Amino acid sequence: MNKHPILVVQEIIKKYGTDIKFEFSHYIYVPQTIDDQRIIFSVSAKDLTRIKLEELCNSTPPGTELALHSKVLLPDQTVMHIPMIDLATRATGIIGRVIDVLPLELSASMIWFESGRSFHGYGTVLISQDDWVKFMGRLLLVNLPQLPPVVDPRWIGHRLISGYSALRWTKNTGHYLQKPILAKNAHLIVGAPTKGQ
């Protein structure tokens, strides 16, 4: 699990402490619908040891997948968001196109994972609800008219309807090719340059 998105949670806990709560879900993927069947649950950062995180992945009910949500609850009950990105392709240089539209602090904090057919990106700098909406808008604008999408537009639509982002942590069904795994050129050090990946 050294290359799993568990790394993202660990980085956020290092920055924001153990008095925060993360949100997860078990979900059923239904292709080409707006249906979003999820059982949502929260876990305190104090309880999210590496063993607990591995248990969460390994105990996902049959026929469902485990997802981490963007929502993080701070000690004062403020809801913040983990910036998340679901790319639509594995094309060469695609991550660089997304990085170019993000604010510098955010782009420098991104950690990228190969998800099978594309990439998943996570920022380790939390953002407010208002900034999350703007962030999702920026992602949508990466997609240019008459060109194949860079960021998955259906994912953006689902997430805006729900009010939070979510990315898969498991490969528990036949809909996906693999578990997410750290991309070969990803930088774990916050502030490391990511331009031109």
CA-to-CA distance for 90 and 82, rounded, in angstroms?
22
Average pLDDT on 163-176 reads 82
Average pLDDT over the chain, rounded to an integer: 84
- Which distant-in-sequence residues (6+ apart) come within 8 Å of 87 by Cβ? 94, 95, 98, 118, 119, 120, 121, 150, 151, 152
What pLDDT does residue 98 have? Answer: 86
Asked if 80 and 127 count as a contact pair (C-beta separation under 8 A), the reply is yes
Q: Is the pLDDT of residue 194 over 70?
A: no
Q: What are phi and psi of 3, to 5 degrees?
A: -115, 15
102-153 pLDDT, tens digit per residue, is: 888 888 889 999 887 788 999 999 999 999 999 999 999 988 888 888 999 9
Asked if 133 and 127 count as a contact pair (C-beta separation under 8 A), the reply is no
Distances, alpha carbon 130 to alpha carbons 46, 71, 124, 126, in Å: 27, 13, 17, 12
Q: Which residue has the higher pLDDT, 13 or 94?
A: 13
Q: Which residue has the higher pLDDT, 179 or 164?
A: 164
CATH topology of domain 6-182: DNA primase, PRIM domain (3.90.920)
Q: Is the pLDDT of residue 57 over 50?
A: yes
